[in-house]
Every structure is written in structure tokens, then in C-alpha cells.
Amino acid sequence: AVEPAENGRVSSATMANRSTMRFGCMVWSAGLAPIKFVEGSSLEKGKGGRIVVDEYLRAADRVFALGDCAASREDPLPPTANAAEQQGAYLAKCFNNTYYKAGADGVMPAKPDPVVPSAMPFAWLEPLDNLWDARSEFRYVERGKMASMGMWGGVADLTKSEITPVGGTLTGVTAFASWRGAYLSKQVSVQ
């Protein structure tokens, strides 16, 4: 169970073994399906056992959820790396721009300052994020969908992509090379 802060600064989570973990900010990273931590939490769950979040990715006071374990009631996103990456970037901006201010008095702002969505998949394209309006609510930007279909095979559907000037689909080696290039680029950092 996750309990709201009593003194305005520290919340606590009670684990299955009855131990208590106190926290000011909890970040949980998990895999492909709801795990026991999510299943056993007192947070509201929606379809598929995913934690229900509001438009700011809040599940409760001072508790945020993103990725596969979270879904909005009105418009659940697919449990993909693409959605989780954008949600993580949104929350990072919110914590860096707004939520850090809660440290002084412990009161979280009702909503974060407006931020532009992290639409672009690569850091060197981030200036193009400013093509979208800044807003307080999380906004998912459809980049397209890609999947590997075995060695040297793949599919890519860019027909609904909001970031490519030309939509369309790719298959075979071209789609595989696009998929592999995109995912390998996420594994390497020059910083």
C-alpha cells in the first residue's frame, strides 16, 4: 500500500512482507507486465491490471506511474518502449521544471508548468520538439511502429506517424535495418 505524506514531505509504501519504505519521490522501473509490486499496491487499477493515471501521469499524491504498468482511463497508450520513453522524458521535464519546488514545503503543485512533448526519437533532433505546443498535460506523439520479424526481416508502419513527412510502410531487410538502427542507437551514448 502507498500512503500519502503525513508531514507533507515523505510518503511510505508497505511491501508484501509488511516492511515499510519511506520516500520523497519513488521511481519504479519494471518489465513487460504488471508485477506483484503493482498488483499488490493499493493504487487504482484499470484494464489489464495497469495503474490508472491522470493527464499528468499521477496515480496518487506524489506517486507517478508510466510505461507498461500505467494507463489513463480515457485513452490508454500501447505498452511500448516508444510510449514509455516519451512518458519518462515528460516526467523528467516536470520534475526539473516544477516538482522539485515541492521540496521546500512538501506540497506538490496541482499541475506542472507547461513542457513540450519529447516527440523526436534522437537527442540531435530535440530542437524539433518545439514544433509542438507546450502544455501541462502529457501528450503522446505517434512516431510509428516497428518490429523485427526474425533475422533480416521486419515491418515498419509509419502511416500514422506525426514526425515523418512521408508515411508508408516498410517490410523485409529495409524495415529490419531501420528497426535495428533505431534500437541500437538507443543503446549507445557519446556523453
Residue 62 — pLDDT band, cuts 50, 70, 90? confident
Q: Give me the chain's average pLDDT, please.
A: 85
CA distance linking residue 126 with residue 6, whole number of Å: 39
Residue range 87-96: average pLDDT?
A: 94
CA distance linking residue 2 with residue 37, whole number of Å: 11
CA distance linking residue 149 with residue 178, whole number of Å: 12
The pLDDT score that the predictor gives to residue 117 is 96
Share of the chain above pLDDT 70, in %: 85
Contact 76, 46 (CB under 8 A): yes
Q: What number of residues does the chain have?
A: 191
Nearest CA to 72 out of 47, 42, 52, 50 is that of 52
* β-bridge partners, 185: none
Residue 81: Cβ within 10 Å count: 12
Cell numbers at residue 20, please? 515499510
pLDDT over 80 (residue 35): no
- For 72, left (φ over 0), alpha (ψ -120 to 50), or beta? beta
pLDDT over 90 (residue 54): yes
pLDDT over 60 (residue 32): no
